[in-house]
Amino acid sequence: MGKITISALDRMKSAGEKIAVITSYDASFTRQIEQAGIDVILVGDSLGMVIQGHESTLPVTVGDMVYHTANVMRVSEHAMVIADMPFMSHGTPEQALDTAGRLMKEGGAHMVKIEGGAPQLETVRHLTARAVPVCGHLGLMPQSIHQLGAYRVQGRGEHERERMLKDAVGLQQAGAQMLVLECVPAMLAAEITKALDIPVIGIGAGADTDGQVLVLYDMLGVTMQGTPSFVRDFLVETGNVQDALIAYVKAVKERTFPAAEHTFT
């Protein structure tokens, strides 16, 4: 099996083959994730919560992201690896370029992910014009938790729907090559997925996105604050980590995950 590239993911979107994505932060889990045939690994700033025990992703530093991305890259063979740009590491296009440079040069990431819509377009243009592949992130944006007040579904109501659709199209036009939609009503996620040429990956965004992503610890039932309603615990079904990962990939590819109970309307 060759290395998964953005061209391969584009082809999967065109062919209607679902893309299986999971977060990872270290070498040992990455080895098992690779053996399960995952397409894309996200070194998410969720590590601030699941690894570091913080209440939010805000304290995560660029140094943390570089460290964990390098741990993953050391054993990753086939998957494409995306690293998150942490909070306050992309306030200006110049700062974002420095951060992305570290994540790619020191960490080895193939792509960086940035939360945000309209306010990030200039930054996305700046990065993509300088050979930095970018994944956007809309819907629930955990770095904005103190503005949002709670981790809840985004994009409900006509005004929010229009704004998210516009942001998604804007990100693609600015050069983003992938998009994550987090906690978005399934119909809106389906509409955005159809409107874009780039692969759209959902988490709590229904079954009609081009692929799914879950936080590794959530789908293994290793949670400190309870399992979110859009997550399926694959470890409880299978009894061991390797089989849980294989079952996740199979469920995404065969469209049995997410089911109606994991979906917001």
Catalytic residues: 182
Q: Are 79 and 38 in contact (CB under 8 A)?
A: yes
Q: State the nearest-atom distance from the C-beta of 46 to ligand KIV, in Å.
A: 3
199 touching ligand KIV, by CB under 6 A: no
Could you tell me which of 230, 185, 234 has the C-alpha nearest to residue 212?
Answer: 230
The CB density around residue 114, as the number of other CB atoms within 10 Å, is 23
Closer residue to ligand KIV in complex, CB, 13/113: 113
Strand pairing report for 211-214 and 178-182: unpaired
Contact 22, 42 (CB under 8 A): yes
Only segment of 43-51, 154-162, 223-231, 250-258 that touches ligand KIV (CB under 6 A): 43-51
Encoded tokens for 184: 């978005």
Q: From residue 57, how far is each of 64, 97, 101, 146, 194 by CA, in Å?
A: 11, 21, 21, 11, 30
Residue 80 lies near ligand KIV (rule: CB under 6 A): no
Q: Which amino acid is at 9?
A: L
Write the interaction track for ligand KIV spanning residues 53-72; mark x where CB under 6 A is met and - where it is not.
--------------------
Distance CA 137, CA 180 (A): 5
Please say which residue, 121 or 183, places its beta carbon nearer to ligand KIV.
Answer: 183
Sketch the per residue contact string, 93 through 122, with ligand KIV: x for CB under 6 A, - otherwise.
------------------------------
Minimum distance, C-beta of residue 180 to ligand KIV, in the bound complex (Å): 5
Which CB, 139 or 175, lies closer to ligand KIV? 139
At closest approach, how far in Å is the CB of 72 from ligand KIV? 13
Minimum CB separation from ligand KIV for residue 111, in Å?
A: 13
Give me the residue label for tokens 């979110």. 228
Binding site for ligand KIV (CB under 6 A): 23, 42, 44-46, 84, 180, 182, 203, 213, 215
